[in-house]
Structure 1
């Protein structure tokens, strides 16, 4: 298994060497990073699955892992052996969901390692690194399965285990449509306010909207208002595309999926489509169903910026474009401009720090090739000669950044580079 992984990595590196981007800097960074997720973050397991750590933290985030390996989908025609690895990543994600569908990050083994000693409605398992409920954790395996389905004739991975896992996911999502009736809570002591849930671990109060309640944003910071709009739209995107693939013997599951999607869509229309500070109609970032709205965007995907990338809408959709205009302006509290960079950051990192992931997403959600190339060049400048993309970077000084190795950022750069190359 290890030898096979080594051979695949060598083929990826050979592929990268044959590609040339618009500048020497962007080319060098791409060639250095394309094998990053497989060579440095991925381990072959005895059960045929693959563990993907997030980078300098030894745990596997379901969301991060999917986006880390997503660029390899585009390489499957050139390197068919990648399919085995990608299906193996998917199967490990599914088994983690089966183990605890409320957890966002997992250990490679049942080591008992945790980010912190947290309190939740059930004891935190030795296999769980962190038990923050994030909708995107449940969307991530579905997105990976859909991308695999679109790019291979072999769909053996859409087996009973997959559909039974979707049944479990649906049960959680249906439960969290009515969070006031859910047993889930999360409490972390001696931490920043945004690293735990208020209201004795249950989060701020919400009213029923049809959307699914979310404890934590994709940044792993607590939602201020309980309905995280980008994550609900991510749900709509993956569930809508997966519905036609549900086999006849799971017809009851299909009906549940269709009912949930319709409820979320109605909730989004009623509560999440708002008048932005620009005077145009667009999407709020969070709402609570009680009249409160959070107008902003965060660098972490799923984000409002990333809606076309995650498959919810088209780039030229007017509501998306209105939202994009707002979030890529100083009216978004997490949009920063400085001497070197301008882009979206996060309350997960210092003020006036921009995330290379969001810079890449600006390019990936543009129809203008010149914009894509410009974003690629901006990111390449942020490596500070380390050969890494980092989590976030100061808008005034690229030598100031967070995280030495963040594989998700590296691979999103590669995703944009492959886009520029027309792959």
Structure 2
């Protein structure tokens, strides 16, 4: 069955466009179709082994995290669409093989070509484009495997997903004691300090907290402190899904292991990742080291603190999340910018004053205010600089100054928000924790 290259005629998309047109701006629906079709037509490569390789856009490599988020909007279109289902299964098969091959790598080549972001990196694996270890790179495909199961009812991918989960859990266990148990190192010469790890590639010192260590953030920038709080909460939610998938296929021992590890990650966050802010009250830190150092900030890339309801099963009405959200969307957050074109979260990965469409979409997806959600959708179409696409970031006062001409993750996030505003989003799939680690969940089968 050939992979689809367009969803323009898909019944859900047609209905979504009609509803978006009814909001008084035809650009909403036009952008939705353009973003969904661009991903299908330009980023996906069918491989001889039956998998699908997904480039991130203007970089010819497949990121585990990016390829997951690029596929996420299509979960809303799966009912009765066998071709889309087969495509998503093919993408997952590729991801699971990549994780099993090297769970420390974040981005891969289509073939064993030896191509790399930097040929002088320590990693000499010809399949690996980059070996920046990030907790979220392992968590996102596992989250997606669970959500695909719930959206489609199909289970043939579960065995391979659980093999990938074992590899991820093994790494997460090792990295709970990074200083004492991990052999991972990353050294890149002649680059800014955010593009390599301090301390001969080990990273800054950390204590043992129960959380799992990450070398790099979802932005691919090095962590200031080794325990990234939103990544740990995202991993815990992924483990809840692993437990559910393991129960489905009768692997009760693996389910118990996943529940236990999820509890340890959340326990570490509770002990070390929660702070009291003088204006916002009890809230989540972005990063900590378990030795007393805390970074209060957020980043536009997911998992972020702002995105916790979307990727970590945290209620959008949870008091601690609301306090954290108030901080993130304020001048207290060093990466939040107010401008004449837009106000929103940026990233140290891009210049000061640059707002990210991903973060604007996340703000809309996690908002409970319909007017604000519509306002953010309009901001996104108003700031495309006439290109008809989302960018990595743009200047808060001048959308004509932007980074990355082609960034498929940002296109996907616009599509997620537009589908959600139209009433066809994947919101029902977000709460994978059911309020507690390892909670029993009735699955669609």
Question: Is contact 1:383–1:390 with CA below 8 Å preserved after alignment?
Answer: yes
Question: CA shift at 1:79, angstroms?
Answer: 2.8
Q: 2:208: which partner in 1?
A: 208
Does residue 9 in structure 1 map to residue 5 in structure 2? yes
After TM superposition, give the deviation of residue 368 of structure 1 in Å: 1.8
**2:286 aligned partner:** 285
Contact kept? 1:11, 1:79, Cα under 8 Å: no
Report if the CA contact (8 A) 1:277-1:331 is conserved: no
Give the structure 1 partner of residue 117 of structure 2: 115
Q: Which residue of 2 aligns with 1:148?
A: 148
Deviates further, 285-294 or 19-28: 19-28
CA distance in 2: counterparts of 1:91 and 1:342, whole angstroms: 38
User: What is aligned with 2:256?
Assistant: 255
Gap change, CA 1:12 and 1:280, over 3 Å in 2:
same
Equivalence map 1:260-275=2 (5 Å)? 260-275=261-276
* Number of aligned residues: 416
Instruction: Say which SS state the counterpart of residue 74 (structure 1) adopts.
Output: helix
Q: Please name the residue that 1:24 is paired with.
A: 26
1:98 counterpart (90, 93, 100):
100
Q: CA deviation at 1:249?
A: 5.5
Question: 1:355-370 alignment to 2 at 5 Å?
Answer: 355-370=356-371
Cα–Cα, structure 1 residues 224 and 352, in superposed 2: closer, same or farther, change >3 Å? same
- Cα distance between partner residues in 2 of 1:42 and 1:263: 37
1:64 partnered with 2:66 = yes
* d(CA) in 1 for partners of 2:175, 2:9: 43
- Call closer, same or farther: CA 1:13–1:356 in 2, change over 3 Å: farther
What runs of 5+ residues in structure 1 fail to find an aligned partner?
none
Question: How well do the aligned residues superpose, as a CA RMSD in angstroms?
Answer: 1.4
Does the residue aligned with 2:399 lie in a helix, a strand or coil? coil
Residue aligning to 2:195: 195
Inter-partner Cα distance in structure 2 for 1:94 and 1:56 = 23
- Structure-2 change in CA distance of 1:194 and 1:13 (3 Å): farther
Unmatched 5+ residue regions in structure 2? 425-445
Superposition deviation, residue 156 in structure 1 = 1.0
Deviations 1:237-275 (A, max 9, x none): 111233132147633322322221121111111101101
Q: Deviations over 1:342-369 (max 9, x none)?
A: 0000000010000000000000001222
CA displacement 1:124-175 (0-9 Å, x = unmatched)? 311100000000110111011011111122211112x332221111111100
Aligned match of 1:225: 225
Preserved CA contact (<8 Å) 2:214 2:228: yes
Do structure 1's residue 333 and structure 2's residue 334 form an aligned pair? yes
Contact 2:6 2:41 in 1 (8 A): no
Alpha-carbon displacement from aligned partner over 1:206-228 (angstroms, at most 9, x marks no partner):
00000000000000000000000
Could you say which residue in structure 2 is the equivalent of 1:391?
A: 392
* Counterpart-to-counterpart distance in 1, 2:277 and 2:39: 38
Matches within 5 A, 1:342-381: 342-381=343-382
Distance in 1 (CA, whole Å) between partners of 2:329 and 2:220 is 22
Per-residue deviation, 1:279: 4.3
CA contact (8 A) 1:277 1:326 kept: no
- More relative contact order, 1 or 2 (CA 8 Å, 6+ apart): 2
Aligned residue number for residue 246 of structure 2: 246
Asked if structure 2 preserves the Cα contact closer than 8 Å seen for 1:13 and 1:34, the reply is no
Structure 2 counterpart of 1:167 = 166
Shift of 1:118: 4.2
Using the TM superposition, name which of 13-22 and 203-212 deviates more: 13-22
Q: Would you say the 8 A contact 2:143–2:241 is kept in 1?
A: no
Query: What's the TM-score once normalised by structure 2's chain length?
Result: 0.91
2:298 aligns with 297
Contact 1:124 1:131 in 2 (8 A): no
- Tell me the CA shift for residue 339 of structure 1: 1.4
**Contact 1:177/1:208 (<8 A) preserved:** yes
Match of 1:158 in 2: 158
Q: How does 1:117-132 map to 2 (within 5 A)?
A: 117-120=119-122, 123-132=123-132
Deviation at 1:196, TM superposition (A): 0.4
